[in-house]
A and B are shown apart, each in its own frame.
Chain A
Amino acid sequence: MTTFRRRIRQSIENPTLQTALDNNSERRLKGKSLAFESIPDWRERRQRAHHIRADVIENLDNYLNQFITNAENNDVIVHRAKDAAEAIDIVLRISNIEHRKPLIAKSKSMVSEEIELNHALEKHGVNVIETDLGEYIVQLRKERPSHIITPAAHLKKEQVAQLFHEKLGIPYTEDIPALTATARKVLREVFLTADIGISGVNFGVAETGGICIVTNEGNGRMVASIPKTHIALMGMERLAPNLDDLALLLSLLPRSATGQKLTVYTQLIHKPMPGQTRHLIILDNGRSKLRNSPLKESLYCIRCGACLNACPVFRELSGHAYIGRNLSIAPYPGPIGSVISPGLFGENYFQLAQASSLCGACKETCPVDIDLPKLLTRVRAGEVDNGKWKVRGGLGLTWSTKLFLKTFACLATQPKLFALSQKFASLTTHLLSPRSEWMRLPAFTGWGYSKDLPRFAGKTFRERWQGMDKKIDEYTGKRVDRHESKQAEQTNLPVSPVSLSTTSLVSLFTSELSALSGNVHQTNNPTQSIIEYLLSNNIKKIYLQPNVLDETLLRQSGIDFTHEPDPTLTVGVTKACAGLAETGSVLEADEELFGSLLPEIHLAVLESKNILPSLPDAIEMTRGKNAVLITGPSRTADIEMTLTIGVHGPKEIHVFVDDSKRG
């Protein structure tokens, strides 16, 4: 038995892991299908997204050049790394030049897992701390993430409780909000003192040179905005041509990943923060090779993880069981991982592609419609490099299966021999099992492991055919329905152009944000309403973005405020440039993190006339700016998929919708 199969057995025989995996699949599948109900034109969006990604990969050099030029014009320092060693070297150089013995706060990045960045940094004495709750947990356990979206999907809360008790010295508790609060406290210190922040990139936008980062907890925003140096790591294929295309991709990514209409913090970064140096490392690491191979379509992937959740293989294995022949854990698990891991890193991971029934659940769920079953068969055929068929097909198969299939193929081209072998098989199975139609084969045969095998029929169909009465009976006269329309009633209704009134936009905005545990207050005098809110909650001092509230009135009411960054304040007030009715989001300047990210309570003032229907209507406003879309309070589901509010960002968000200036 191969080590891979042994590893699969270990996963299957681990009941804790199996419960966690079932939990992950069931919740994610349900969440995704609910989220897609809100975009009835999703089939069309999916095809558009497929074409956008296909266009990007087809014209990657052009888009990359455009992207890099624009990013550099935005004062972002762009580096290109051809492989893991180069990328690591660049990070180390930045660390050494700009800081001595730096502390690095890191948010989730699959590219960093791919190049094993943490391992390399630690070897050079650099202290790097993962800040996504799930990543933090697996880092403390010295493990790799088991899922690309939910890194600690394999763990139960008892294991996290024990871990935090041992490593962080807190009293043992299985209370998930308490565990989350502990991480908040520990990591807040890291955010505020880190010299460098490292993040991944969800999309780069060629037309603007901007990068988009989405996180639910708020850690992405922290690491990209607080430290004096930000390093963003991206795979070279992760581009969208323009902001409209980005808006479309963003309507699919969070819905597919976590069942959200929009991730809590969707950052659109175009330039460094004041006083900050921003680096962008664009990684090849085999992607150019992949792009020129029959596995090219795998580069369309937007890393939502939906195929992992839908895959029955992943549901038994978890990410840690996707191992190569040298026992190393593949950087990317699941159906997409079984294609890109061998695609990027070669033969070591070929065996992963054989562990699939090609059931197609991955293709069906993929938001950019990647034909994963087809790509899996290409890996199996050894079509990894560009060019003609490799001689050695059937990669990862056992020799006995290969021999059987080759012999069978040989027989299948010679009908007489085929019929003869059927006779022989029938005779043999009848001898082996004279009484029963079903035979019990030993487990080592594979089939016999869990099911019986039917005897070959005494008389095959082809033999029966000779003697069959093939005369066509007279039409029996039974009623036969002939229906004209072939599935005419597709439920895919075209979406009518949105022409909602301000009132209905406000009410949609309110219901969407309330569904995310956010609060909406309608008012004609936001300063007065906020004073009332503060006084009733006994809050005396706040961080206030300039030019948002009537400061004289605040002073008269005894509310102290500051425009200076102060991480000790619990309430921040900011201005929202726009609201999105469809998702209950507010669009704000990313720089206002002391108002909208660090405090426990975030109050945003939004003029009702600035509530727009959905993201495509607002995305232009982010051009050239550092903007963030905030959709509800900070949250996580990294421990046992249990939704917990208030991780790194605010626990409460209140939007004061100002109706006084309605045009």
Chain B
Amino acid sequence: MPTIQLFITCLTDSFFPKTGEAVVDILSRLGINVDFAPGQTCCGQPQFNAGLRKDARAVAEHTIKLFEKTQGDIVTPSGSCAHHFRHNLLELFEGDAKWHPRAEKFGKRVFEFTEYLVDHLGITDLGATWDGLLTYHPSCHTLRGLNVDKQPRTLLQNVKGATLVELPNAHECCGFGGVMSVEHPELSAEWLKRKIFNLEKTPSPTLVVTDAGCLMHILGGLKRHGKPQRVMHIAEILRNT
């Protein structure tokens, strides 16, 4: 029975703990022993992306040290945190003889949740059921950063009772972009408007994502404008049996 480490991410931990519960539930049902290292906090991506590399390093070193004491693959319900661990850390520690190899070893253990299910465990049908239409927004870092797209789509296609409809211009960024959404609110607002406009072109009341950042951003936009659609993390759909 394999043991995995769950990296919950700061956003899921703080805002959407139910997503985390769904992940634990799904993995446990598959016979996987889920472990949670309580010392974990944030991946440090906000600092890295903003150019505050010293601060990003401090956070990353904390996380690497913490997970070096644990066993097994590290699974996270966020494409952008997985991308940060796997790719950005190599950039962050480039030329550092001590930390680069450690970051590389750590990064290789990290998987985005749907990627882990499909590519690593070879599971494409979780026996989930759903009543109604779903549409999928591929988060930028899941899609282009990790090249993970077929995995979540296959998992959703195999949800019984659900009909997956295509979101127009699905590949476009929702405008979250971490601190960009507060540093450049005007840009962020325009992309969010377009995302919601495209969502409204589908008959689906539910938008599925693989990242808490997009979830918080798009749902925040829907709430602001009193729209009825909801945004759900894929784990919460797949948990529903």
Contacts and interface: CB of A to CB of B under 8 A. Distances in A.
Interface string B216-239: 110111011000000000000000
B201 interface: no
Interface residues of B, number: 88
A408 B178 CA distance: 13
Contacts of B70: none
A426 B15 CA distance: 9
A192 interface: no
Contacts of A456: 14-15
B55 interface: yes
Contacts, number: 254
Contacts of A9: 186
Contacts of B183: 354-355, 397-398, 401, 446
A603 to B, nearest CB: 45
B132 interface: no
A170 interface: no
Contact of B47 (A5, A409, A475): A409
Given A355-B187, A450-B185, A480-B126, A457 B10 contact: no
Q: Which 6 residue pairs spanning A and B have beta carbons closest together? A: A357-B177, A380-B51, A446-B182, A478-B127, A451-B220, A450-B189
Contacts of B158: 481
Contacts of A476: 29, 127, 241
Given A12-B190, A356-B180, A360-B145, A484 B220 contact: no
6 contacts: A357-B191, A438-B223, A450-B224, A451-B224, A461-B20, A475-B29
Nearest to B32: A472
A8 interface: yes
B58 A413 contact: yes
Contacts of B58: 409-410, 412-413
Nearest to A311: B173
A450 B182 CA distance: 10
A394 interface: yes
A415 B144 contact: no
B56 A409 contact: yes
Contacts of B48: 377
B24 interface: yes
Interface of B: 1, 8, 10, 12-17, 20-21, 24, 28-34, 36, 38-42, 44, 46-56, 58-59, 61-62, 88, 91, 119, 121-127, 140-141, 143-145, 150, 158, 171-173, 175-193, 216-217, 219-221, 223-224, 241
Nearest to B182: A446
A451 B221 contact: yes
Contact of A468 (B24, B192, B224): B24
Nearest to A379: B51
A405 B224 contact: no
A405 B20 CA distance: 24
B21 A415 contact: no
Interface in A437-468: 438, 440, 443, 445-447, 449-454, 456-457, 459-465, 468
A361 interface: yes
Given A457-B15, A476-B29, A440 B224 contact: yes
